[in-house]
Chain A
Amino acid sequence: DIQMTQSPSTLSVSIGDRVTITCRASQNIINWLAWYQQKPGEAPKLLIYRASTLESGVPSRFSGSGSGTDFALTISSLQPDDFATYYCQQYQSFPYTFGQGTKLEI
């Protein structure tokens, strides 16, 4: 299985901050990487796919970058609605696997 490692696990942030979350794959996944946002009691929501393509309806303050094994999700200016847990996921090979999550907290 491809292991996905996110860092940090928790990030203390403030409104307006520029936030970057990283995700490392244990082997080359080219750009078959997605990012999801999950709020308590809700299902994950797709933000970015193919490493850098913004899902329709997702605010432009979210962006993704990277290829191969190293990827990043950046929020350019953190808004109150962005406090959540973020997950990366690879879909280059089966089984699909997820990172352990990064929780943004005040």
Chain B
Amino acid sequence: VQLQESGPGLVKPSETLSLTCTVSGDSITSYYWNWIRQSAGKGLEWIGRIHPTGNVNYNPSLKSRVTMSVDTSKNQFSLELTSVTAADTAVYYCVREDAALPGWGRGTLVTVSS
């Protein structure tokens, strides 16, 4: 299974960060799909996860700003993070969950700056 993140590498403060993860090699319907980010200041931070049935779990620290969705027809899932600040600058990973987190995308750097 391969995962590939895509989306803008630069987002302005107060705007919305939008990323998509394309899954190849397996059906997206079989697992939970996570977003995790990594910054120098906060290490690895779990953002949340989604199942194609619609079940979602978000990190309470980000819950008010996060929305995840799944498009099974495209084998993709997405992340939206609103009202971003410099603290949201990080490498964002999409990750497959199956007895822990065995499948990671390569990550995409998102910088929040005007």
Contact = CB atoms under 8 A, between A and B. Distances in A.
Interface residues of A, number: 22
B89 to A, nearest CB: 17
B63 to A, nearest CB: 9
A42 B61 CA distance: 26
B104 A91 contact: no
Interface string A40-65: 00111110011001010000000000
A100 interface: yes
Interface string B60-102: 1100000000000000000000000000000001000001111
A98 B43 contact: yes
Interface SS, A side: loop
Contact of B93 (A43, A46, A101): A43
Given A43-B105, A95-B60, A87 B99 contact: no
B60 A89 contact: no
Nearest to A35: B100
A49 B97 CA distance: 12
Contacts of A45: 104
Interface of A: 1, 34, 36, 42-46, 49-50, 53, 55, 87, 89, 91, 94-98, 100-101
